[in-house]
């Protein structure tokens, strides 16, 4: 994979370590994928939605990490809605094999959520 992808990573703040782990996986020399993480790294002021939309527009795609905290993560849910509104390809992956949410909120409900594997992430990036 020669192209470096710009990926916005959407996650509940309680899952920041999972985001960090995903970014680290992309840097692992054995990994079949790599990307530049464009996620929000610190809280923004009241205009965060405008800034966030601009970041999402500038990305090749979005990876959403779905955890039991996602249903209450208003920022993450807004980011995912924004990505769909902007027509960005979105990969939804479960943050944990165990402890998956019993039900999924809009905008995730009815969409396919995959297991977090190198192959699933690499396949997503290859389709961008």
**pLDDT values of the chain reduced to their tens digit, one per residue, 128 residues:** 457 888 999 999 999 999 999 999 888 888 878 787 878 766 656 688 888 899 999 999 999 999 999 999 999 999 999 999 999 999 999 999 876 887 899 999 999 999 999 999 999 999 99
The two three-digit tokens of residue 3, written as one number: 């192209």
Inter-axis angle of helices 16-27 and 118-126, nearest 10: 70
Specify the CATH number of the domain 5-126. Answer: 3.40.50.450
Closest CA to 76 of 16, 7, 13, 6: 13
Residue 8's SS3 state is strand
CA distance 101 to 12: 13
> Residue ranges of the domains in the chain?
5-126
The two three-digit tokens of residue 96, written as one number: 């944990």
Is residue 89 within 8 A of residue 59, CB to CB? The reply is no
């Amino acid at each position: 994979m020669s192209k470096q992808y710009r990926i916005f990573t959407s996650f509940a703040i309680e899952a920041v370590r999972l985001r960090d782990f995903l970014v680290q996986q992309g840097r692992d020399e054995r990994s079949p994928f790599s990307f530049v993480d464009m996620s929000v790294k610190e809280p923004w002021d009241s205009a965060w939605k405008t800034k966030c939309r601009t970041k999402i527009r500038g990305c090749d795609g979005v990876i959403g990490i779905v955890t039991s905290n996602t249903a209450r993560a208003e920022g993450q849910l807004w980011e995912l809605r924004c990505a769909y509104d902007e027509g960005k390809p979105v990969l939804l992956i479960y943050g944990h094999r165990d402890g998956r949410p019993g039900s999924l909120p809009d905008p995730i409900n009815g969409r396919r959520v995959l297991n977090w594997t190198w192959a699933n992430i690499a396949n997503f990036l290859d389709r961008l």
